[in-house]
Structure 1
Amino acid sequence: MRTAATELLGIEHPLIGFSRSPGVVAAVSRAGGLGVLGATAYTPEQLDAQLTWITEQVDGKPFGVDVLIPAKSVPGDPSNLIASLRAQIPEAHVKFVDELLAKYEIPTDTGKALFTDDLLSGLAGSGAEALLEVAFRHPLALIANALGPAPEAMLKLGREHGVPIAALVGSPKHAQQQLERGVDLLIAQGTEAGGHTGTIATMVLTPEIVELAGETPVLAAGGVASGAQMAAALALGAAGVWCGSVWLRSEEDITPREIKEKFLAADSGSTLRSPTRTGKPARQLRSAWHDAWESPGAPPPLPMPLQPLLVNDAWNRIDAAAEVGHPGALELESFFIGQVVGRFRQLEPAYDIATGIVRDCEARLREVAALVTP
């Protein structure tokens, strides 16, 4: 398949795979697509190590990086960022989280911390810029921003290094803002997607963004986990697809097995958009955690980055307890996932998932073309 996206990115197939898991990123690139690593899951030092490893694995094939840089967040003191932000968290919110963990008897000693303050500092100011500086030390084929207009630092570095800049959008208004900033690629992400989303469905959003974008290529995101869905996105005018949730059923994905088992048992109605993990609406698997935050008397979630600072340690404790089969932790356990979770049946290698999507897409496109009579 040849589209404006494959030409721009130098890839064989218009399949872009976003993941926080380096193994997934490398597999998608080896399969002829473009693997994109979620950088916000790492400190600058960790990101450098992971990108070095990916470079060694892909044998010269292209890959990219996505950095989550919110357009708006609660300000803090740059000289003592985390402490100044924590000071803004109300005691009532701290009490609510403590009581929720006590209700489900979550142990206090986790023995590990999957999410640290160092990672959360990457959501603001110099922390995000440090990730960008590390990313551009590597041979990127794409740099993407997931929240708000592409920041000036990203635009500057992208142009200096000749790296295309992509931006996720959830509405025509957001797309127009990104086009005015000069991005090279738009990702029209529908509400079906995992993680941060808007409220417009992919089927409606994609052709709106394609029409608005003109010569700028558009990728469709949200609800794409099969070849048929990829073919539908291309039929809507997209130059390719951006897939994230589908890789959560891959063997290389680093999500704990306990969460993956919940994914395999879920259906397409098992998710919700909730700000209770990041402070911004993000689709994730519904669990007892969300039920508690929706109960009478629960405090409203805080804005980013205060909400992740509030719940960071709680999720470290929940994840650690779930890993050893703690019943209360398993009830609370969740992760970011799109509505395609209802298609999950078993775990497979990411390379096989990627090649299967492309193969089935090509077959479906041929079937559709045969419907047109001479």
Structure 2
Amino acid sequence: MFAFSHCRDVVAAVSRAGGFGVLGGSGFTPETLERELRWIDEHVEGRPYGVDILIPENQPVGRLVAMEELARGISEQHRRFVVDLLARHDVVLSFEETISSKRPPTLPDIAEALLEIAFRHPIRLIANALGLAPAAMIEGGRKHGVPVAALVGAKEHALRQVATGVDILIAQGTEAGGHCGEVSTLVLVPEVIRAIASVKPVPVLAAGGIMNGRQMAGCMAMGAQGVWTGSVWLATNEAETSETFREKMIAASSRDTVRSRARTGKPCRQLRSPWHDAWEAADSPGALPMPYMPMLSVPAFAQIDKLADGGHVGAQSLVSYFVGQGVGLVDSVRPAGAVVQDFKQDYAAALEDLLASIGE
């Protein structure tokens, strides 16, 4: 069981409990990633862990594009739209504050620097999403003896990744939080396994909506050799999520998420809020592509989260985060280690039921 999280505490806790923690590294600078991985090395007790670096295959910008040029790619109309959207909920953000001054981590130069940092540590897995695993990742994995994994949302993606040389495929269904495709996990996993069987039968991990051990057992029964989980860790004591968002998770149903471009510029599942409704409205200027859209959404959500944590009602209504349809199965906040143990017990119980069903 692989556990993707942006929080080092979750990664270490899961690995110590017998799972395999994977740190989402794309929210960090090279300097902060180095600090986070050093901390994990000191707290993981020698257990395996991995790193996920978001290196998109397609972005409409040059490799070394300057921040000034990036800023010019965001229209005044888009910036005014954000200011007005927040103002309707009594959240104040000035026009000058609408664009992040931080260089987007998905740009090739930053992403490759993060990759270099990751390989300096005793990681046991490196993973990529949003397109083919780049040559630098494949070559680095070979050099350092680290398996390379790639997320795929369609069998065509899987075949391309295998031809590129990845070691592990993560077949992620549309139920998943974060960036995802349109095919459900139940359909995608066996489709990918069958598609690659005669080409190169690399291990396939199932992802998308997996919140407990019984679901894990179902994925293994379909032929997966493991599961990749994410949303379930957002409702843990160690997670980076705010108290407001955790409360919204517990209250949410599986129908309260939306697959939208309005935060990252690429189809990405999140908890629906008035932010997403506004970007889908007739008067919206339309979401920008990556990396422009994150440059708009990051400052906005930083202000939203700051005010929400202080009790601001309007900001609380706007609070959102990347989460899958499995949010409907969240009913409490628990320690990450306890979630791992529950997975084990549920998985064992499911196997017993399956064996009983065939008279074993």
TM-score (norm 1): 0.92
Amino acid at match of 1:37: L
**Following TM superposition, by how much is the alpha carbon of 1:311 offset from its aligned partner in structure 2, in angstroms?**
2.1
**Following TM superposition, by how much is the alpha carbon of 1:77 offset from its aligned partner in structure 2, in angstroms?**
6.8
Q: What do the CA deviations read for 1:338-373 (whole angstroms, capped 9, x no partner)?
A: 011011111100011012112211211121012113
Does the Cα contact within 8 Å between 1:142 and 1:166 map onto a contact in 2?
Answer: yes
Q: Does 1:200 align with 2:183?
A: yes
Q: What is the RMSD of the two structures over their aligned residues, measured on CA atoms?
A: 1.6
Task: Specify which of 324, 329, 333 is matched with residue 319 of structure 2.
Answer: 333
Does the Cα contact within 8 Å between 2:63 and 2:109 map onto a contact in 1?
Answer: no
Task: Specify which of 274, 283, 288 is matched with residue 302 of structure 1.
Answer: 288
Q: What do the CA deviations read for 1:277-321 (whole angstroms, capped 9, x no partner)?
A: 000010000111111111121111010001111222111111111
Task: Specify which of 147, 158, 175 is matched with residue 158 of structure 2.
Answer: 175
Amino acid at match of 1:329: A
Task: Specify which of 32, 35, 42 is matched with residue 21 of structure 2.
Answer: 35
Does the Cα contact within 8 Å between 2:53 and 2:115 map onto a contact in 1?
Answer: yes
Measure, in 1, the Cα distance between the counterparts of 2:73 and 2:100.
18
**Following TM superposition, by how much is the alpha carbon of 1:117 offset from its aligned partner in structure 2, in angstroms?**
4.1
Alignment of 1:181-196 (within 5 A): 181-196=164-179
Task: Specify which of 289, 300, 323 is matched with residue 314 of structure 1.
Answer: 300
Amino acid at match of 1:89: I
Measure, in 1, the Cα distance between the counterparts of 2:79 and 2:121.
40
Task: Specify which of 137, 155, 159 is matched with residue 138 of structure 2.
Answer: 155
SS across alignment from 1:99: helix
**Following TM superposition, by how much is the alpha carbon of 1:116 offset from its aligned partner in structure 2, in angstroms?**
5.5
Equivalent in the alignment of 2:124: 141
Equivalent in the alignment of 1:86: 71
Alignment of 1:21-100 (within 5 A): 21-76=7-62, 78=64, 81-100=66-85
Measure, in 1, the Cα distance between the counterparts of 2:300 and 2:28.
19
Q: Does 1:360 align with 2:343?
A: no
Measure, in 1, the Cα distance between the counterparts of 2:355 and 2:140.
42
Q: What do the CA deviations read for 1:2-48 (whole angstroms, capped 9, x no partner)?
A: xxxxxxxxxxxxx0000000011001111111100000111111111
Query: In 2 relative to 1, CA 132–200 (structure 1 residues): closer, same or farther, beyond 3 Å?
Result: same
Measure, in 2, the Cα distance between the counterparts of 1:207 and 1:331.
39
Measure, in 2, the Cα distance between the counterparts of 1:117 and 1:281.
24
Structure 1 unaligned spans of 5+: 1-14
Task: Specify which of 254, 257, 276 is matched with residue 290 of structure 1.
Answer: 276
Identity of aligned residues (%): 49
Does the Cα contact within 8 Å between 2:83 and 2:93 map onto a contact in 1?
Answer: no
Equivalent in the alignment of 2:193: 210
After the TM superposition, which parts of structure 1 deviate over 6 Å for at least 4 consecutive aligned residues?
none
Measure, in 2, the Cα distance between the counterparts of 1:307 and 1:246.
26
